[in-house]
């Protein structure tokens, strides 16, 4: 799927805050709310937006985090 400039701007804004409203996206991107909704549907249908997730602070739920990292340099 080829991404338009508007698609890229929408994705940029959603990466900052996934809860950005369609109305706010409309203002920032310069498209109507209906057009933003069509863009979002196409991005979701084509799995460009794979998931919308909540990032929970480990301190809020009293859990530590463990990371396993593999780095290979040539």
pTM, to two decimals:
0.76
Helices 5-16 and 33-45 pack at an angle, to 10 degrees, of 80
Helices 5-16 and 22-29 pack at an angle, to 10 degrees, of 130
Res 41: pLDDT = 98
Q: What is the pLDDT of residues 34-67, one digit of tens each?
A: 999 999 999 999 999 999 988 888 788 887 777 7
Given a cut of 80, whether residue 1 has pLDDT beyond it is yes
Q: What is the pLDDT of residues 10-34, one digit of tens each?
A: 999 999 999 999 999 999 999 999 9
Res 51: pLDDT = 92
* Encoded tokens for 16: 């900052």
Q: What are the chain's domains?
A: 1-74 (1.10.10.10)
């Amino acid at each position: 799927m080829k991404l338009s400039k508007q698609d890229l701007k929408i994705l940029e804004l959603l990466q900052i805050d996934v809860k950005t409203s369609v109305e706010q996206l409309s203002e920032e991107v310069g498209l109507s709310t209906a057009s933003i909704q069509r863009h979002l549907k196409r991005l979701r249908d084509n799995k460009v937006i794979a998931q919308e997730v909540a990032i929970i602070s480990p301190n809020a739920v009293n859990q530590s985090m463990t990371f396993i990292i593999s780095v290979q340099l040539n």
